[in-house]
Amino acid sequence: MTRVGIIVNPASGHDIRRLISAATVVDNSEKGAMTVRLLSGLGATGVDEVLMMPADLTVSRAIDRIARSLVVQGLTAPLPSLTWLDLPTTYHARDTIAALAAMVEAGVDAVCVLGGDGTQRLVHGRVDEIPVLPLSTGTNNIYPVWTEATVAGIAAGLVATGQVSREQGCVREKALEVTCAGRTEAALVDVGVISDTFAGARAIWRPDHIHEVVVCFADPCAIGLSSIAASVIDLPRGSDHGAKVVIGDGPLSRVPIAPGLVVDIPVAEVTPVTLGQTVSLLDVAGTISVDGEREIERYRGEPATVTLTEGPWRIDVGRVLGATRLQRAST
């Protein structure tokens, strides 16, 4: 019996970036359609059951409507049986956390998470060694990828059913654990020192409010805070270290800080951060951001540290499908 958990964040994709920038909009019907595409890929590889986090009606009805249509037409491989977890829906991060716990307890072989960076980071430390497929439905996402969900479902199914091993098809990601004001939060991409006094509407788009950034990796194709690091160093995904970037007197980097917003930011200093290393953040009153959202309000003199650790096993769609091709060629 192969089981896969799916989490769809019904609230992703409607933060303030739709007002302050030209951010993408993904509606919940599309998230439902993505889920059906995912199910068809999972079913085609032999996944028996999918455990779903309860989402909102537009998601669940879209899944039901489209899945029925596919089954009636007989156009796709059998879909896995779908079980909705019996959990309360509060439309808060706690829903995802509770669903992850239920999925781990049920012994799922893989987890698929549809949401933005803010949803994905909740996975860190909550799924043991279970491989995770992160699919983007949010705004300026870096950690989850835009991939056709049918193909992604095939990849997740191949890993879940053991046809491709975790070591063959997955990448061990890194994570940043930031501690300040008695709180610890995880980030999978970046932690920022921001001088907005309050978390407010959470997004970050004022370049002069950014003072320091710590990154797990710096993809030159990425948008947001990690693009500052990517403008000055080569730190691809899967590198064995991260980096700390201090903003200040230094050469200007022209970076895409949010969708449609390209700004100049002066970079003063870049230092590598090794796995297991703990670094202190600049003493700036304001907020600490995790994966692009102001999260922890920090007051003058409050120390803050960040530790680079091992993160979740990410199912890499390209690697999985490449591995199956190699397997075919070798048999």
Partner 1 sequence: MTGTASGTIPAAELLQAYRTMRTIRDFEERVYKEFQTGQMPGFVHLYAGEEAVATGVCDVLTPADYIASTHRGHGHAIAKGCDVVAMMAELYGKATGTCKGKGGSMHIADLSTGMLGANGIVGGGPPLVCGVGLSAKVRGTDQVGVSFTGDGGSNQGTFLESLNFAAAMNLPVVFVVENNGYAESTASSFHQSGIDVAKRADGFGLPGVVVDGQDYFAVREAAAEAVGRARAGGGPSLIECKTIRYFGHFIGDQQKYRAPNEVADAREHRDPLKNFRARVTRAGVATDEQLDAIDAEVAELIDRAVAQAQAAPFPAPESALEDVYVSY
Pair of tokens at residue 138: 């949010």
Cβ 157 vs Cβ 3: under 8 Å: no
Minimum Å distance from CB 176 to partner 1? 23
For 268-327, give the DSSP string.
Answer: EEEEEEETT-EEEPP--SEEEEETTEEEEEE-TT--EEEEEEEEEEEE-HHHHHHHHHHH
Instruction: For residue 328, state whether it binds partner 1 (rule: CB under 8 A).
Output: no
Position among 168, 196, 246, 322 found at the interface with partner 1 (CB under 8 A): 196
Instruction: For residue 72, state whether it binds partner 1 (rule: CB under 8 A).
Output: no
Position among 162, 299, 303, 310 found at the interface with partner 1 (CB under 8 A): 299
Cβ 256 vs Cβ 223: under 8 Å: yes
Q: Cβ atoms within 10 A of the Cβ of 98, count? A: 18
Q: Cβ atoms within 10 A of the Cβ of 75, count? A: 9
Position among 14, 166, 237, 241 found at the interface with partner 1 (CB under 8 A): 14
Measured between alpha carbons, how far is residue 112 from residues 79, 120, 182, 251 in Å? 16, 10, 31, 41
Pick between residue 175 and residue 210 the one whose CB is nearest to partner 1: 210
For 49-66, give the DSSP string.
Answer: EEEE----HHHHHHHHHH
- For partner 1, which stretch binds (CB under 8 A), given 34-42, 146-154, 201-209, 317-325? 201-209
Query: What x-and-dash track marks residues 49-68 binding partner 1 by CB under 8 A?
Result: -------xxx--x-------
Using alpha carbons only, give the angle 284, 290, 152 rounded to the nearest 5 degrees.
160
Minimum Å distance from CB 117 to partner 1? 17
Position among 27, 48, 148, 219 found at the interface with partner 1 (CB under 8 A): 27
- For partner 1, which stretch binds (CB under 8 A), given 18-26, 65-73, 239-247, 249-257? 18-26
Instruction: For residue 161, state whether it binds partner 1 (rule: CB under 8 A).
Output: no
Position among 126, 174, 209, 244 found at the interface with partner 1 (CB under 8 A): 209
Instruction: For residue 303, state whether it binds partner 1 (rule: CB under 8 A).
Output: no
- For partner 1, which stretch binds (CB under 8 A), given 7-15, 38-46, 97-105, 237-245? 7-15
Size of the residue set binding partner 1 (CB under 8 A):
32
Position among 69, 81, 83, 89 found at the interface with partner 1 (CB under 8 A): 89
Instruction: For residue 148, state whether it binds partner 1 (rule: CB under 8 A).
Output: no
Q: What amino acid is encoded at 71 in this protein? A: V
Query: What does DSSP say about strands 293-298 and 261-274: parallel, antiparallel, or unpaired?
Result: unpaired
Instruction: For residue 300, state whether it binds partner 1 (rule: CB under 8 A).
Output: yes
Q: Is the dihedral of CA 23, 28, 33, 34 positive or negative?
A: positive
H or E segment at 96? helix 93-105
List residues near partner 1 by CB under 8 A: 10-11, 14-16, 18-20, 25, 27-28, 56-58, 61, 89, 91, 195-202, 206, 209, 285-286, 297, 299-300
